[in-house]
Structure 1
Amino acid sequence: MSTIANRRWVLAAYPKGIPDASAWRLEEVPVPRPGPRQILVRARYLSVDPYMRGRMAEGANYAASVRIGETMHGGGVGEVVASEHPDWRPGDIAESMAFGWQEYAVLSPDRTGPGGTHRIDPGLAPIESALSWLGMPGMTAYFGLLETARVRAGDTVLVSAASGAVGQIVGQLAKIAGARAVAVAGSQRKLAWCREIGCDATIDYKASGDLLAAVREACPNGVDVFFDNTGGPIQDAAMKSLAIGARVVICGRIAQAARFGEPEMGERLLGSLIVSRASVHGFLVFDWYHRREEALARLAAWGREGRLRFREDVLDGIERMPDAFLRLLDGSNFGKQLVRIAPPA
């Protein structure tokens, strides 16, 4: 293996605002060898996710930042090509959030928690599903909506970035729970998909003009659950439209990407919480990984029943990793953004 090149993207500089391609550098290094109780995995799919912008900063976050010259953090799924672990064999399929932006990764199956390694059954769903609806995005929707927001039948659920990796599952889980789902996205094409998977009403935040009026028209009795994947003006409009006893889940803030690390701009709306008696919850899916198997079992069952559908946006080749990530930041992606690294063996 040492004669085969492993291409990897490392962080070249901490960006200010929206990154460009100069933030990363593509390197070739020898393929690493697994140590005792480790496995070597060749990537088939790598994931890019909004949380990665927070890892590209010097300041403290909920997880350690990527160091300059270090392989960019990220999840992946691939095929075991060498194993020094008694429970793993070449040909097994492994998924891990510890993969990184590289073609080959050494993983430690004994590690637990969010950076752990999980065996994937290719017969259950396409293996890339482990990075989308049967993985971290699906779990985010599951625990964020069903546990943190405590969605109930009859609720009106407003979800931003509703055609994205998490948002499209939130909308469908809301319908499964007997709630009314209202989707916010940035194009009619994306909103058509949201309607196709069952959302009751849609809002084009780029074309609506008066976003507050659009939210209030779509949610005439107020917003019972706001699942916030973006922050920014959508959040402002939602916070002014909360029903009594509303629950707000703050999951992402991609609208802040151009001002990362700076104070968020907008109105101060905490007084509205007194009127609505609403609760606001910061949400991090990693806090729920101890219940990973429960969530994936239920998501898989709903998938088999045809109650969950999912759209993915796939680019090809390790060279496309920065392009794929930047698509998330400007909203060019349509569905869960993935990069296909290698074809099936």
Structure 2
Amino acid sequence: MGDLVENREWYVAAYCPEGVPTSDHLKLRTVSLSLASDSIPDNHLAVETLLLSVDPFLRGTITGTVEGLFISQFQLDQVLTTFAVVRVIRSKDSKYSVGDLLLNGYGLVAEYSIVPSSHIIRKIDTSNGISLSDYLGSLGVPGFAAWLGIEVLGDPKPGSNVFISAASGAVGMNAGQLAKIRGCRVIGSTGSDDKVNLIKEQFGYDDGFNYNTESDFDAALSKYFPDGIDVYLDNVGGKMLEAVLNHVNMNARIPLCGMISQYNKVWTERDGVRNLLNMVGKEVRMEGFMIKSYLHRFGDFVKDMEGYLQEGKIKPKSKINIGIESFLESLNSIFSSSNIGKVVVQVKT
């Protein structure tokens, strides 16, 4: 590889306060990047991107405001960052060698980059039988969020009734399987009949329902949870969260992982929840969480999840889109019923 490369990268051209982002908001450009040794500072790495993680939280980083969302924003003209699997091209850090495969916690959405080695989360061992895409899914942000929601915050006991929304998505598919490992009865909601079959047949859910055909969420939850809900991992918010609060048991726990049904709305137009009073009498604990606050548990998570993957107790599913040019389309697919599992962009092989 030469010292100078033509590098394609996605950047923020304009903020998108509501709706799905378009090519007016996120643009792909080509810039020249020097990978020469004297262009790499000490304790930095020149890397090529193999895989990019596409996650719902990215939507909140380009609204242009933190009002009602509490998430830091990318600046205009700034290159997006996400979790990425990268390969080392040149190294100015003795801990890493040319050819190493790494999980980068602040990977530029670009074909090549020069990154501080402090951004590297871990080396990837290709001999353990785990696919590279799973390091962005079950072993990445979605898997960690699912593990925190179930293992740490939800903490369901065997036999508990667990409900998971967006059950066929990157977080939901892992959360349901983790709850089943704990011996729970697990029900999921998802956006099509095919996905309902998927979560039952591939991810081991006891049952599920299609939120697009169940017009009355309250009635659906009465049907699927005649004995009430002990743990609800909320990925969607809005009307589903409100319905759940009519069916919670005493001391139920509701970890708030995300609210994808609300991300494309300005905060004043988001669905309100009118029955929070139910939390008082049932002594319910509802708690939002961000994975950055639990990084001290990442090692525990990796140990658990790697074991589950190798034992076949967790069955991952990824949708891999080819080419960095597919990043915007991949991001928007998360907000439609078309998406199943973890969305990944394959930049290079």
Scaled by the length of structure 1, what TM-score is found? Answer: 0.95
Specify the SS of the correspondent of 1:99: strand
1:129 maps to a residue whose letter is: D
Instruction: Determine the C-alpha separation between the residues in 2 that align with 1:182 and 1:49.
Output: 23
What's the CA shift for 1:52? 0.6
- 1:213 corresponds to 2:258: no
Tell me the equivalent position of 1:179. 184
Instruction: Determine the C-alpha separation between the residues in 1 that align with 2:183 and 2:198.
Output: 20
What's the CA shift for 1:266? 3.0
Quote the sequence identity (%): 27
Match of 1:77 among 82, 85, 89: 85
Specify the SS of the correspondent of 1:178: coil
Tell me the equivalent position of 1:298. 304
Match of 2:150 among 145, 149, 170: 145
Q: How does 1:171-320 map to 2 (within 5 A)?
A: 171-196=176-201, 197-262=203-268, 264-320=270-326
Tell me the equivalent position of 1:20. 22
Instruction: Determine the C-alpha separation between the residues in 2 that align with 1:140 and 1:244.
Output: 25
The CA deviation string for residues 95-131 of structure 1, in whole angstroms up to 9 with x for no partner, is 112002111122222x2xxx54321111221122110
Specify the SS of the correspondent of 1:259: coil
Match of 1:119 among 120, 123, 138: 123
Instruction: Determine the C-alpha separation between the residues in 2 that align with 1:31 and 1:176.
Output: 47
Instruction: Determine the C-alpha separation between the residues in 2 that align with 1:338 and 1:255.
Output: 21
The CA deviation string for residues 204-240 of structure 1, in whole angstroms up to 9 with x for no partner, is 1001121111111111111100000111221121121
Instruction: Determine the C-alpha separation between the residues in 2 that align with 1:127 and 1:62.
Output: 31
Say if 1:338 and 1:260 are closer, same or farther in 2 by CA, change over 3 A. Answer: farther
Match of 1:54 among 48, 60, 67: 60
Q: How does 1:38-49 map to 2 (within 5 A)?
A: 38-49=44-55
Say if 1:267 and 1:64 are closer, same or farther in 2 by CA, change over 3 A. Answer: closer
Unaligned runs of 5+ in 2: none
Tell me the equivalent position of 1:102. 110
Unaligned runs of 5+ in 1: none
Instruction: Determine the C-alpha separation between the residues in 2 that align with 1:62 and 1:107.
Output: 26
Scaled by the length of structure 2, what TM-score is found? Answer: 0.93
8 Å contact 2:239–2:271 — kept in the other structure? Answer: no
What's the CA shift for 1:62? 4.6
Match of 1:131 among 136, 158, 163: 136
8 Å contact 1:107–1:117 — kept in the other structure? Answer: no
Instruction: Determine the C-alpha separation between the residues in 1 that align with 2:71 and 2:236.
Output: 20
2:115 maps to a residue whose letter is: L
Instruction: Determine the C-alpha separation between the residues in 1 that align with 2:291 and 2:262.
Output: 20
334-343 or 17-26, which moves further after superposition?
A: 17-26
What's the CA shift for 1:263? 5.1
8 Å contact 1:203–1:215 — kept in the other structure? Answer: no
The CA deviation string for residues 29-61 of structure 1, in whole angstroms up to 9 with x for no partner, is 123443111111111110110101111122235
